[in-house]
Chain A
């Protein structure tokens, strides 16, 4: 136990002593990954400061022909033979773009008021590959920025672009296959874009999907991405295609090194694999092209600029027709060359045919023309010869294909035939042909003028007609409402009583008024009381005999009727009872006032709709 304690104390002492010693080992070191590289190949520069891990990135001066980019810092604590060393390494990536010797540095940093210096370092960049490169494992270094390369001057480069064509002297409209290849050696590329290049004076065909292959070049096996496109010259003369340029991103995978025991780097930023992308743009050389005009010698009359090597097939459908029936002349042009320059084959149609403009269908390597011709008479025996001329650039001469003539049988047309024809051509939309002629002339005029109308006067803009149209609907609506009411009166007793109450009240009031006019006050009050009983009984569906002034409290006040009206009603009830049971009967003006009040009460209840 004692021994253990002594050991631990000893170790702590040694460590502290080591740290104290480390205080003295402060310094800056500049180191290149290697000092000789070929142009376009990157190399790392490590600037390591010993004694601290908090030193910021030192400034780097720009150097002509050398592209410098900062990769990042990494820190380290190493214990070797009991000696602890702290350090920070700032890594830079250098990409030589010119063939020359570069002197990089000296470098200086400030730490705690003192200046520490290192370097300079020398980097030799040449067009010759660095010795031993091919045997090396794929380096972790990556190019940054622009790498201008082509096959010849940059033999051995890891990334370059070429542009080429099999034809440097072409004719107008001739197809020029362009091949652009991206050569990649020991690199991972991402986000590769389609190459772009100037092609003024040429029309461009659709670019094909790039293909990937392996290709041995200068003793190295390259990954090659091949882009193909076809160009068509539009004007004669000397032209320059390109240069083609292509953008991509280089992917690097970095891994920390493990060397000697205790020289581990657990504090480094990227302990495991880390990846990073760097944009890069490569450019090819230009390609000169000479565009020749068409030779005048032997140029056919029907030649219209078609260039290539084509074949012509002509199909006639149907071969037996009647006068006025359409015949479809299907002309199929196939082969290699510029299909856009292919025009309709020539057919000299005589006057005894009616013709229409051909319909064109273009497929990948085929162009189909469908021409409708209609024989006007049964004397037609054949469809004339079809010719198609083009210039064949492979042989440098004009060629003419002739097909036909094509025999057809044309019969006379019966009179009673359906005029409208729908002819379905496979692969195209439905064609509607104009109606055939039904006879050789129009039918004679009419002798009778028939029914004469005022111009523009039609049924649909006659308001009286539309007014009449509304009558049945209105009648039905009225009938329906009346029928529903009648049914309700028949089946709903409460509704029927309430419905009839005002009419009965009006009659009762008239009767009371008659008594009043006669001066028969007692009977007047009897009549008024009865009217009130009848009306209120019907309105509230109550037995008539039970209607007294009590109805105000039981029915009317809870229903929310106006207090003034209720008071008025109460007053009328009191006066009626007084007249019926007391000896003195209020007459004259007082009775007339009661009369008016009763009318007001009924009027109010009818209007209130409660």
Chain B
């Protein structure tokens, strides 16, 4: 029985591996991707940032993305003085490689250039821990880790049926695994929920209004590079929430979704 379980376990993860390899496939256009990327890098090194961006954007337009591509694009935007667009791409890169030290360094450096300061309340300690954990791992890593814990729990459940005495001895381990699985699922849910619902201001200064029309009273100001939550869309306007909780409407062209 033990042997059967191990065979099932290994088969399962081998099958899952096909999902991963499928998602990372480089496809027919891989030669062009490489070429465009290196061409973009060459332009960047010559200080021709607009041309570099043009090459990088060709890869995005062909439907591919990578953390290095976002990183280099962000660098090119930063060098060309487009702080907002640089931060959008750093954010995208961070989602793919949250522990890349070069990326984090550049991201923080770019953020320090945002001309704004907001008073915000600190979260409770538990939420801070969960958020910090979520910021250090990618969505895929979280899903893989959850999947692993889930399979371990299933194996332990087999044990519970076949060897109830042995299961009782390892019950605390099982409960800890269950807690870890729940935590992971919560973080996954938050990350998936936030996908497409965060944006970065890409114009130098934006006046956020009480309503989605030009004559509406200005409520607060947003500066280039500020991260906002996107709540709603309406005819060329976006309803955004600033980090301090203030909500207003800005033009769709002033914000880029991460």
Interface flag for B174 (CB, 8 Å)? no
Name which of B25-33, B197-205, B206-214, B249-257 contacts chain A: B25-33
Task: Give the docked Cα–Cα distance between A451 and B97 (Å).
Answer: 11
A472 and chain B: residue at smallest CB distance: B154
B146, closest chain A residue (CB): A469
Closest chain A residue, CB of each to CB of B8: A475
CB distance from A373 to the nearest CB of B (A): 11
Judge if B34 is at the interface, Cβ distance under 8 Å: yes
Cβ–Cβ contact A434 & B112, under 8 A: yes
A393 to B157 alpha-carbon distance, docked (Å): 84
Which residue of B41, B67, B114 contacts A450 across the interface (Cβ within 8 Å)? B67
Contact indicator A460/B143 (Cβ below 8 Å): yes
Q: Which of B57-65, B176-184, B234-242 contacts A (4 or more CB under 8 A)?
A: B57-65
Q: Is B158 an interface residue (CB 8 A)?
A: yes
Number of interface residues of A (CB under 8 A): 51
Partner of A445, one of B75, B109, B116, B122: B75
Asked whether A473 lies within 8 Å of B154 as measured between CB atoms, the reply is yes
Contacts A356-B117, A453-B64 known; A468 to B15 CB distance under 8 Å?
A: yes
Give Cα distance in the complex from A442 to B110, angstroms.
8
Please give me the residue from chain B that is nearest to A433 by CB atom: B117
**In the complex, which residues of chain A have a beta carbon less than 8 angstroms from the beta carbon of B188?**
460
Given A356-B117, A434-B111, A459-B140, answer yes or no on A453-B75 (Cβ-Cβ < 8 Å). Answer: no
Q: Does A298 contact B (CB under 8 A)?
A: no
The residue that B114 contacts in the complex, of A434, A442, A471, with Cβ under 8 A, is A434
Q: Contact partner of B117 among A434, A439, A446, A462, CB < 8 A?
A: A434
Q: Which of A52-60, A422-430, A567-575 contacts B (4 or more CB under 8 A)?
A: A422-430
User: Does B102 count as interface, using CB distance less than 8 angstroms?
Assistant: yes
Query: Using Cβ atoms and an 8 Å threshold, which residues of chain B touch A439?
Result: 105, 109
Chain A residues lying within 8 Å of B111, measured Cβ to Cβ, are 434-435
Name the A residues within 8 Å of B24 (CB-CB).
451-453
Chain B interface size band reads 35 or more
Residues of chain A with a CB closer than 8 A to B82's CB: none
The answer to whether A450 and B68 touch (CB under 8 A), given A445-B41, A455-B60, A459-B23, is yes
- B19's closest neighbor in chain A, by CB? A465
Q: Which stretch (A167-175, A398-406, A476-484, A544-552) binds chain B?
A: A476-484
**B80 neighbours in A (Cβ, 8 Å):** none
List residues 464-509 of chain A with CB under 8 A from any CB of chain B.
464-465, 468-469, 471-473, 475-476, 479-480, 483
> Is B144 part of the binding interface, using a Cβ–Cβ cutoff of 8 Å?
yes
Knowing A442-B78, A442-B109, the reply to whether A453 touches B23 (Cβ < 8 A) is yes
A443 lies within 8 A of B161 (CB): no
Is A357 in contact with B117, judged by CB distance below 8 angstroms? yes
Q: Please determine whether B122 and A457 come into contact, CB atoms closer than 8 angstroms.
A: no
Give the chain A neighbours of B144 by CB distance below 8 A.
Answer: 459
**Residues from chain A with Cβ under 8 Å of B150 in the complex:** 469, 472
B139 interfacial by beta-carbon distance below 8 Å: yes
For residue A431, CB closer than 8 A to chain B, the reply is yes
CB closest residue in chain A, given B119:
A429
Q: Is there a chain B Cβ closer than 8 Å to A458's Cβ? A: yes
B143 and A459 contacting across the interface, CB-CB below 8 Å: yes
- Chain B residues near A449 (CB-CB < 8 A): 33-34, 37, 66, 68-69
Question: A358–B105 Cα gap in the complex (Å)?
Answer: 28
Chain B nearest CB, measured from A21 CB (Å): 89
Judging by beta carbons under 8 Å apart, are B64 and A454 in contact?
A: yes
Residue of B nearest to A440 (CB): B109
Which residues of chain B are near A428, meaning CB under 8 Å? 119
With the chains together, A458 CA to B118 CA distance in Å?
34
Nearest chain A residue, comparing its CB with the CB of B37: A449
Minimal beta-carbon separation of B3 from chain A (angstroms): 15
B65 touches A437 (CB 8 A): no
In the complex, A35 has a CB within 8 A of chain B: no
Q: Which residue of A lies closest to B79 (CB)?
A: A442
CA distance A442 to B69 in the complex (A): 16
B16 within 8 A of A: yes
Report the separation of the CA atoms of residues A137 and B192 in the bound assembly, to the nearest whole angstrom: 85
- Answer whether residue A447 sits at the interface, using C-beta atoms and an 8 A cutoff: yes
Cβ distance B249 to chain A, nearest Cβ, rounded Å: 22
What's the Cα separation between A454 and B122 when bound, in Å?
37
Which one of B19, B71, B158, B161 contacts A462 once the chains associate, using CB atoms below 8 Å? B19
Residues of A within 8 A of B (CB): 356-357, 359, 372, 419-420, 422, 428-439, 441-455, 457-460, 462, 464-465, 468-469, 471-473, 475-476, 479-480, 483
Give me 15 A-to-B residue pairs in the complex whose CB atoms sit less than 8 angstroms apart, sorted by A's number: A430-B120, A437-B112, A442-B105, A443-B102, A445-B45, A445-B72, A445-B76, A452-B30, A453-B65, A455-B63, A459-B20, A460-B143, A462-B23, A468-B16, A479-B161
* 5 closest cross-chain pairs (CB), A and B: A446-B68, A356-B117, A472-B154, A445-B72, A465-B19
Given contacts A432-B122, A443-B102, A448-B68, 7 further A-B contacts (CB under 8 A): A436-B112, A437-B113, A441-B109, A451-B66, A452-B33, A472-B151, A480-B161
